[in-house]
Chain A
Amino acid sequence: MSQASHALVEVREVSKRFPGVQALDSVSVDIRPGEVHAVAGENGAGKSTLMKLLAQLEKPSEGDILVEGERVRFRSPRHAQRLGIAMVHQEFALAPDLSVADNLSLGREHTRAGVIVRGSEKRRARELLERVGVAVDPGRKVSSLAVAEQQRVEIAKALAVDARVVIMDEPTATLTDAEIDSLFELIEQLKGEGIAIFYISHRLDEIMRIADRVTVMRDGQVVETLDKEQLDEGKLIALMVGREIDTLYPKQEAEIGDVVLRVRGLTRPGVLLDCSFEVRAGEILGFAGVVGAGRTELARAVFGADPVSAGCIELDGRELRLGSPGEAIAAGIGYLTEDRKGEGLAMQLSVIDNVTLARIPGRGIWIDRRAERQAAEQRSDELSIRAPSLHRSVEALSGGTQQKVVVAKWLQTDARVMFFDEPTRGIDVGAKAEIFRLLSDLAGKGRAIVLISSYLPELTNMCDRIVVLRDGRTVGELRREEFGEERIMALASGTEKEAA
């Protein structure tokens, strides 16, 4: 075991500056063979940046990276792969229109006289897929795979280049519970093979489960590196946030009023079948269900983002005909999307422009730029949005900060019924509490809130009522007294008979 104490990769006093931001400030960490090294920290702490330096996606401003004691030169991601460092990207870097086999051999095609030898590629692909435990035909197009399968292919791609260090940046953000379990099994297996893993996550329970060591970062610096034995959640949080957090779920009891939104029999062929629910003023309603149960689809249908074939939507007892999100927003319905890159943000636009996009202050065709700036300043104070400047494009912000910008955009619409679809995805613990405080405040002001989350404690702690969906149908409804994770999961997976 003397081998194991040797650092496989070492980062020595590395700094990285971006315009207006010191993303990393003299950071040192190392990783040993067969170790899971978790990196934790608030949004914008510099976790992803550190990993990008390792994968040679970004160039360090100062400092050295050593692989097996030798300084490496910065060249290209390909060079990093040759050194045995591979990254599993959160936004997968697969070519969607190519087959799995082609993706696995991309850039390293096995050729004979310049012609790709398909047979041997398929065979190799099958081996790799078997190693990561996914049974798909290597001839299938990547775009036809489920998210979890695509992630496996990404990991297989890392193994294909004989990676000794695999970097996983928030790998569980889009996975279901069962998928997370099997990812962890795979990680254990890789550990056994001596592969080292850098693991970034905002879910402390995951870190507690899987990490051998944890490095906590704050404001671009390493606060401390802890061994497994020293781990304790309260301590982790305190180290990450630099202050103590009172409660993660600041739920206030709000007075629950009349039904604001009533949805009856909403149907969208192949996606939603006869979905009904209602939500009252001051109430936080949860949508529970496994990934793919139709929670997002139901919210989108109510919001007018997708067409429906049957059903009715009533707001304050008056039936609405919603043809577009614009009409829904005008009627007082808002929808925070789960996919911030794809549907949430206009990346090249500034923070201000994004915050006011769904509701621009002004008259007629004109924009009132002063009011706009004030609105954005107020929202960014409210949500502690950490941006070097509100005039900068949101592209350069960290993932969690971007998420806050999307939240700010929807607060700005001041909708009476607000759908929050996975609002805490990629957000650090401190900011999560802030966002839940905001939900509570909104409910306190008499807004009707629908919260969609794959993380049950968020629902059971924040909601007044939970509607469970399965296979595109609303299959049950639980009041606060009836909440229980087993009960909800049984409904969601169909092992319990439908309630009411």
Chain B
Amino acid sequence: MSVANSPAGTSRALKLPEGLRDRLNEILSQLAAAAGLIIVAVALSFASPYFLTSNNLFNIGVQVSIVALVAVGQTLVILTAGIDLSVGSVAGLGGILGTMVIAKLGFPVVPGIIVGVLVGAAIGVVNGLLVTQMRLPPFIATLGMLGVARGLTFIVGGENAVYGLPSSFRLFGEGQIGPVPMPIVYLIVVGAAGYVVLSRTKLGRYAYAIGSNEEAARISGIPLNRYKMAVYIISGALAGFGGMIAASLVHSGQPNYGVGLELNAIAACVIGGASLFGGVGTIGGTLIGAFLIAVITNGAVLLNITQYYQQVIIGVIIWLAVWWDQVRRRRLAAVAAQAHGRRGTEAAQDGQSSIRAQGDDGAPGEAGSARA
């Protein structure tokens, strides 16, 4: 570690490109994850002439949107070293209750959708309370909720789907802005919001900090419970929203909707580089993970591969993604070491006054002095 003999100003000028370089590394690392996505996409475009049509691409976008929306919330939870296993059931419950108030109680469409979202948020509140007040591990709290919310869906809504929705409800999921289907619009908005939350707000920073070291976060004065509540509420609300989009797409509330959704959402996060131990993960990575799953599913349909093979493929992708992520981290480290040259640049000791020898109070010497 060479000691830069430059004045402080120079060293500060050196720091900026370093920051940029790290930012670049981060982007590059996501490009690496994206590379998998691109390879699969290119392969599919050769395998099926239909794959690259705008129709099919929008189709993928619509299919991925719900998983991706839910995965954005899941990312926040996972960052805090938590997990939300209840999102699939919550999407089902939100969708049923939201459509019921429209179809049975005559709510207008927008308030109905809001009800769906609020139901999800309310479940998030309960999850949050279970985690923060009853101190249940997130896995247990939300595993219980997975059962409770699904059960409630059938208890409240019965076994049959909810029909009789006004045609304007259809627009919510099937409408378009220009050529872009609404679900993709929602995804863009939520994805951007998620990115901003993680990079520019205290909620995002605290989520990383809590997941990285909860005790350090607490000692630093972060109100843990409040922020943990927040991530479960956001996750629940997004799940409820996803449930309403799904209901609009099939024009009915389906009590079975969302079974297994949580696994796809968690897979998206993990493929995108999030650590289940908390503290590591990005929205960009999660979205790439969600798209990768969606493209593979889509390709399987186009190529007439059965659903069972799809499940196998996605499982293998999870292994590969996490393995590749580790390899990449190591490789990146090596590359960076070369790029930085033999020595790291440091603003080590400049600006520090040079100090003379022989002190007054007998120092420098600690010898002979006692210790309590």
Residues of A within 8 A of B (CB): 17-22, 25, 44, 177, 180, 203-205, 208, 219-220, 233-234, 237-238, 242-249, 288-290, 303, 305, 324-330, 335, 337, 342-349, 353, 357-360, 362, 365-367, 369, 373, 377, 380-381, 384, 386-392, 409, 429, 433-434, 454-457, 459, 461, 485-486, 488-489, 492
B135 interface residue per 8 A CB criterion: no
Asked if B357 and A238 sit within 8 Å, CB to CB, the answer is yes
Partner of A349, one of B209, B351, B372: B209
Output the least CB separation between B148 and chain A (Å).
31
Output the least CB separation between B283 and chain A (Å).
16
A365 to B200, CA, bound (A): 9
Asked if B336 and A19 sit within 8 Å, CB to CB, the answer is yes
7 shortest A-B CB distances, which residue pairs? A247-B359, A244-B357, A346-B212, A326-B221, A329-B221, A248-B363, A19-B336
Residues of A within 8 A of B359 (CB): 245-248
A388-B340, A456-B369 known; A346+B355 contact, CB < 8 A: no
Asked if B18 and A248 sit within 8 Å, CB to CB, the answer is no
Contact with A along B331-366 (1 / 0, CB 8 A): 011101100101111111101101111111101111
Asked if B1 and A386 sit within 8 Å, CB to CB, the answer is yes
Name 13 A/B residue pairs within 8 A (Cβ), A-sorted. Answer: A20-B345, A237-B364, A247-B361, A290-B372, A324-B223, A349-B208, A357-B205, A357-B220, A362-B202, A388-B340, A434-B352, A454-B371, A485-B372
- The majority secondary structure among interface residues of chain B is loop
Residues of A within 8 A of B21 (CB): 389
Asked if A365 and B202 sit within 8 Å, CB to CB, the answer is yes
A67 to B231, CA, bound (A): 54
Output the least CB separation between A347 and chain B (Å).
6
Across the interface, name the chain A residue whose C-beta is closest to B278.
A348
Output the least CB separation between A170 and chain B (Å).
15
A19 to B12, CA, bound (A): 20
Residues of B within 8 A of A486 (CB): 370
Asked if B347 and A380 sit within 8 Å, CB to CB, the answer is yes
Known: A19-B334, A365-B203, A388-B344. 19 other contacts (CB 8 A): A17-B342, A18-B333, A20-B336, A177-B370, A205-B366, A219-B3, A233-B366, A238-B357, A244-B356, A244-B357, A246-B358, A248-B364, A305-B219, A342-B213, A348-B280, A359-B221, A367-B201, A461-B361, A486-B370
Asked if A19 and B22 sit within 8 Å, CB to CB, the answer is no
A347 to B371, CA, bound (A): 31
Asked if A205 and B368 sit within 8 Å, CB to CB, the answer is yes
Asked if A367 and B22 sit within 8 Å, CB to CB, the answer is no
Max chain A CB contacts within 10 Å: which of B23, B221, B358? B221
Residues of A within 8 A of B185 (CB): none
Partner of B365, one of A233, A290, A369, A409: A233
Across the interface, name the chain B residue whose C-beta is closest to A233.
B365
Asked if A348 and B370 sit within 8 Å, CB to CB, the answer is no
B19 interface residue per 8 A CB criterion: yes
Asked if B22 and A389 sit within 8 Å, CB to CB, the answer is yes
Contact with A along B199-218 (1 / 0, CB 8 A): 01111010011011101111
Residues of A within 8 A of B346 (CB): 386-388
Residues of B within 8 A of A324 (CB): 218, 221, 223
Asked if A384 and B352 sit within 8 Å, CB to CB, the answer is yes
Partner of A485, one of B211, B216, B366, B369: B369
Max chain A CB contacts within 10 Å: which of B18, B200, B368, B372? B372
Number of interface residues of B (CB under 8 A): 66
B122 interface residue per 8 A CB criterion: no
Asked if A325 and B219 sit within 8 Å, CB to CB, the answer is yes
Partner of B208, one of A246, A329, A348, A409: A348
Question: How many Cβ-Cβ contacts under 8 Å join chain A to chain B?
Answer: 218
Partner of A247, one of B208, B336, B364: B364
Residues of A within 8 A of B367 (CB): 204-205, 208, 233
Residues of B within 8 A of A357 (CB): 205, 209, 216-217, 220, 222
Partner of B200, one of A345, A366, A492: A366
Residues of A within 8 A of B15 (CB): 377, 389-390
A204-B367, A365-B201 known; A389+B355 contact, CB < 8 A: no
Across the interface, name the chain B residue whose C-beta is closest to A359.
B221
Across the interface, name the chain B residue whose C-beta is closest to A344.
B216
Across the interface, name the chain B residue whose C-beta is closest to A492.
B372
Output the least CB separation between B124 and chain A (Å).
18
A244-B357, A366-B201, A389-B19 known; A22+B1 contact, CB < 8 A: yes
Residues of B within 8 A of A485 (CB): 369-370, 372
Residues of A within 8 A of B360 (CB): 247
Residues of A within 8 A of B340 (CB): 19-21, 388
Asked if A345 and B344 sit within 8 Å, CB to CB, the answer is no
A434 to B354, CA, bound (A): 12
Asked if A367 and B205 sit within 8 Å, CB to CB, the answer is yes
Asked if B372 and A489 sit within 8 Å, CB to CB, the answer is yes
Partner of A360, one of B12, B205, B279, B361: B205
Output the least CB separation between B233 and chain A (Å).
14
Asked if B370 and A347 sit within 8 Å, CB to CB, the answer is no
Residues of B within 8 A of A249 (CB): 361, 363
Asked if A289 and B372 sit within 8 Å, CB to CB, the answer is yes
Residues of B within 8 A of A234 (CB): 357-358, 364-365
Asked if B366 and A391 sit within 8 Å, CB to CB, the answer is no
Residues of A within 8 A of B348 (CB): 384, 386
A19-B333, A238-B357, A391-B19 known; A346+B202 contact, CB < 8 A: no
Asked if A457 and B369 sit within 8 Å, CB to CB, the answer is yes
Asked if A349 and B356 sit within 8 Å, CB to CB, the answer is no
Contact with A along B12-31 (1 / 0, CB 8 A): 10010011011100000000
Asked if B347 and A177 sit within 8 Å, CB to CB, the answer is no
Residues of B within 8 A of A433 (CB): 355
A205-B367, A233-B365, A485-B370 known; A347+B19 contact, CB < 8 A: no
Across the interface, name the chain A residue whose C-beta is closest to B18.
A389
